[in-house]
Structure 1
């Protein structure tokens, strides 16, 4: 009985075994072509400027790449390539404002980065004096934001612990609802609340009937703004802690409060720190509450409980409206100082949170 030998199918062209794809230089060629066409159609014909030329070039780049991919790779691969280009484009589009803000702050805010700016105040500084600094505003920002953080963080964390670990029924839902409502209130509303309650009602009882503007009142106003952010962020982080950790602790006979303080909170620590720093960043950049209840001051005042006080955000607001050629430089440098201050605090808090072994 004869056995038939299987017939081999000869492949004449080795390229048929490979999927066709665009060469690696094709995106650069498409980008150059898109820029050239947009430059000719928009810029040279005076239909628009640089911004419109860039927008048209981006649209043409997507079209050129889609056509090239459809011809060479097929329609399915072309759709995938275009989706990838759009995702990268959205990322770049979202990144542009951040880069622009950072570049503007650095380029304009370094003009007054000197010892005089950080070691002097605006006391007795006239419109024609190029000196003067923000030492009093830096002191006010650190004291106000620090006191607001000391007030808000314990209240916010305890409120979130109650909602997640203990709260059930109507009360927990009501607290969550009002926290959500407070998240979107304007900053001037919190300033007016503290102005009417603390400055005009409470402080006259201990100040011979006179209203008491102070940095502490500004800290109270900032804490009203920070509280909902801390509560909501802490609540979400606590919900992400696996239930198995709680159950394991309960199985070993650990009480509920000790499980929360020793297991749940340390595990959610990095996320809680992130939420706290977001709240601190918002509080440090608020102007309206400080203007309403602290009043602002051009000289140094270390006593946060008595007398007017300034802050960096209020200093930027005041200098931006001063009719002096030296005021814009102070405003930009103060804005850069505020951003760097928040950045340093955030990095320090992140480094402290990373030292927690349970959170790794």
Structure 2
């Protein structure tokens, strides 16, 4: 099959990059799934049907799922199917004539940019249909299409395929996005449920394990690949009452529960899942002690006297951001009093009692000053 693909390449070159042969290869190396296609990729001598979906595909047997970035391995017949090998986007790749190839379209062009972050996808000069491929040799691909001109490239696909179970390390913080105007790496949100999280809003991250981190995407990649239960030495700069301090904390790395394509509301860490109206839809019995009596069906109304959202319908992402903001304030205040509604009654639960965090508890001032 590889010989046929090489022969097809020679014909393509002879006819000024006629990628129709590669389109036939794509049809043979993929199968229809939910109005798109799953693509057969060979990696480390194994073959996998891989597809990108923003939400989990229905009516499919999923062998591996990474809902954080929307990659899935599906249980589909592999026998006698040609497959693709992944190619890295190096400086040479960005000079080659390429094509975005799907079962219905061929779009010639070039790779404009490699993938910068988990959702900061690689970019092509033309449209890339979902689960279309970027290729210049029929059996080699540089990425898998997501939408518009974007695709997931080799580095992130390989990470997914090589992990037994998709995992992302976490330090209990979310960082402000960085750009040409904002180059400092500062903490935007802090997860109060993260074990002994020492950080505060606007702490500036200087280094992790003595490695300076240059921007948001590098931070996400570096932290996501830290091993669970390893010790990360994080050095920060903190301005406290006009006094600037440089502090170093040893943080035990934990798995990440939300973010990227998933809701990121921190409550998942204590086994609480919420819907878009902050109603508890499930609880994890194994984390009962952290939940302080929260039950399925409870609706969270206020935290520390702060209303989370108005009674008019709001964008779920805005609600999530507001919830993260209030929970970050709770870290600074040292208290986490949650007003809930249950069966027509309203009462307060103090979630701080279940949290093992000396930093947070030391900040609590019952007199409010």
TM norm structure 1: 0.19
Q: Hey, which of these two has a bigger chunk of strand by percent? A: 2
Q: Hey, which of these two has a bigger chunk of helix by percent? A: 1
* Larger RCO: 1 or 2 (CA < 8 Å, sep 6+): 1
Structure with higher Rg: it is 1
TM norm structure 2: 0.19
